[in-house]
Amino acid sequence: MRKRYWLLLSTLLFGAALLFVERYTHQASDRLVGEDTDEAEFFGEQLINRYYNREGRLQQTIIASQSASYPQRQVTEFILPEIATTDDQGQDWHIRSEHGHLNETEQQLHFKQQVIVRSLDDHNPMRLTTDFLLYHVDQQHANTDEWVRLQSRDSETTAIGLHLDIPQQHLQLHSEVTTRHVPVSRPE
């Protein structure tokens, strides 16, 4: 009879231990599921993302050597991002940098580190450099509050901050603007 009590008691203790383990692991998994984990949902290499306008013509293309999407933050991060876009006159523009990220809710592409903006105009090519540039994908506008350096065929301009309206080819420099004109030498 004593063996039966010991068997019953050990079975109850074993059952209680299993119940405790089940509750503990269930609570731990609930905590993990409820937490915002900052893991990429997917990674990509050689990203090419094309945007078309309402008429169905290619408006701009985003290219990156590597990308990682974080849906919890609604952000996609890029390595070597570049955007190629066309203004209303048909002129091509390119913006590239070392790093960047796209805020998917606001459709803003943040270019960081060694940002270069180039107009591919054959008559007067322009090159603009800065450390940070915020590009609005839907509007094709870009702006920064950082130092910028603008180089063209015969001048060099520095300033703090800019607003660039690519469709209208309108560039507004904000403050501390200085320009140095370098005449183009012509052979005699």
Residues 87-146: tens digit of each pLDDT: 777 788 889 999 998 887 888 888 999 999 988 766 767 889 999 999 998 888 999 999
Co-location of 19 and 108 in the same domain: no
Question: How many structural domains is the chain composed of?
Answer: 2
Residues 15 and 93 reside in one and the same domain? no
Does the residue 34 lie in any domain?
no
11-25, 66-80, 102-116, 158-172: segment of lowest average pLDDT: 11-25
Same domain, 107 and 155: yes
Torsions phi, psi for 86 (to 5 deg): -125, 135
pLDDT reported for residue 159 = 92
Question: Contact, 88 vs 168, CB < 8 A?
Answer: yes
Which pair of tokens denotes residue 113?
A: 């580190």
Question: Do 68 and 149 belong together in one domain?
Answer: yes
Residue 186 in any domain: the answer is: no
Among 101, 94, 87, residue whose Cα is nearest residue 129: 94
Could you tell me the residue range of the domain that residue 7 belongs to? 1-29
Residue 24 token pair: 């503990």
Cα 4 to Cα 130: distance, rounded to the nearest angstrom: 83
Identify whether residues 154 and 63 lie together within a single domain.
yes
Q: What is the pLDDT of residues 129-175, one digit of tens each?
A: 999 999 998 888 999 999 999 988 888 899 999 999 888 888 899 88
Q: Are residues 56 and 127 in the same domain?
A: yes
